[in-house]
Chain A
Amino acid sequence: MADKDAEIGFKKETVSKLLSSSFKEDKTRLSGDAALLMAELLKVFVQEAAVRSQKQAESEDCDQVDIEHFEKILPQLVEGGKRESFIDILSRGKGGWVEQHHSGHKKSQRFRVVNWRVQE
C-alpha cells in the first residue's frame, strides 16, 4: 500500500512553476530540493483534506463525500481558518473592531496596546 502511495504525487516541474508564478520578485528561485519537498507537502495537504472529508462523511453516515463534508473540515485545514488573530483585527479597515469601538478618533491617533487591550 505504501509503495502505491509513492507512485502518485505532484511533479517537481509542476510544483516549481506553480510556486514560482506566485513569487513577488523576479530574482527569487526555488532550489531542486525545496521543489521536491513542496511536492511532498502538497501531497500531504491533499491527503489530509481527503481523509478529513471522508471522516466527516462517515460521521454523517454518508456513502459519498460531498461538498458539505469538505466545507466543514476546511477551517481546520487552512491556517487561521475562521479564527482571526489580533493583528488581523487591528489592521482591518472600516467596520473593524478598532473602528467600531473608537469611532470619531482621527486616524493619526496612536493606540497603546496594554495586556492585549487597545487603549488611547
Chain B
Amino acid sequence: MSVDKDETQLRLKAAVHYTVGRLCQRMGEVHRREFSRQVLAAIAETAFRQCDIFAKDLEAFARHAKRSTVSSEDVKLVARRSTALSIYIQNKSEELNQEQRDLKKKNAGKRKSRDTEERAENKDKTKAGL
C-alpha cells in the first residue's frame, strides 16, 4: 500500500525534524546564534536525504562482504571519508562493545550467584524434608 508507505515516510520525516530542532536549539544556546525555521527544515531535509545515500552504501558494503545484515563494520566504512568522523565512530563502536562485554560479565555474575543461591535453597528444602 503506497499510502501507508507515504505515511510512514512522513512520520519518519517528522521524527527527524523534531530531533534536528532539539539539537539545533541546544547549539543555538551554546553558541548564542539561533536558527531560522527555514534552516531547521533545510537541515532536516538534508539529513533525511543523506540517510538514503547512507543506506544504499551500507547495503552495498554488506553485500560486498556477503552478508545480508548491515554491521558496525559497514558503518565505519561509511564514515571513512572524514578522519575526525571516522575516529569518532570507531570510539563509539568500541564503547558499545565494552558496554556489551560489561553486561555479559554482569549477567554471568548474576547467574553464578543465582546458582549458589538456588543450591543453598535446595539444601534448606531437603533439610526441611520437602
Asked if A34 and B23 sit within 8 Å, CB to CB, the answer is no
Q: Which of B75-129 contact A (CB under 8 A)?
A: 75-76, 78-79, 81, 85, 88-89, 92-93, 96
- B 1-37 to A, binary, CB cutoff 8 A, 1 in contact else 0: 0000100110010011001101110111011011110
Q: Which residues of B contact A36 (CB under 8 A)?
A: 92, 96
Q: How far is the CA of A24 from the CA of B69 in the complex (A)?
A: 13
8 more A-B contacts (CB under 8 A) besides A8-B19, A45-B47, A67-B39? A28-B63, A33-B93, A37-B89, A40-B88, A43-B23, A53-B43, A54-B27, A69-B39
Q: How far is the CA of A70 from the CA of B35 in the complex (A)?
A: 10
- A 50-63 to B, binary, CB cutoff 8 A, 1 in contact else 0: 11011001100001
Interface size on A, residues (CB 8 A): 55
Asked if A24 and B96 sit within 8 Å, CB to CB, the answer is no
Interface residues of A (CB under 8 A from B): 1, 4-5, 8-11, 14-15, 17-25, 27-31, 33-34, 36-38, 40-47, 49-51, 53-54, 57-58, 63-67, 69-71, 74, 77-79
User: Once A and B bind, how many residue pairs between them come within 8 Å at the CB atom?
Assistant: 161
Q: How far is the CA of A64 from the CA of B36 in the complex (A)?
A: 7
Select from chain B the residue with minimum beta-carbon distance to A19.
B55
Q: How far is the CA of A61 from the CA of B3 in the complex (A)?
A: 46
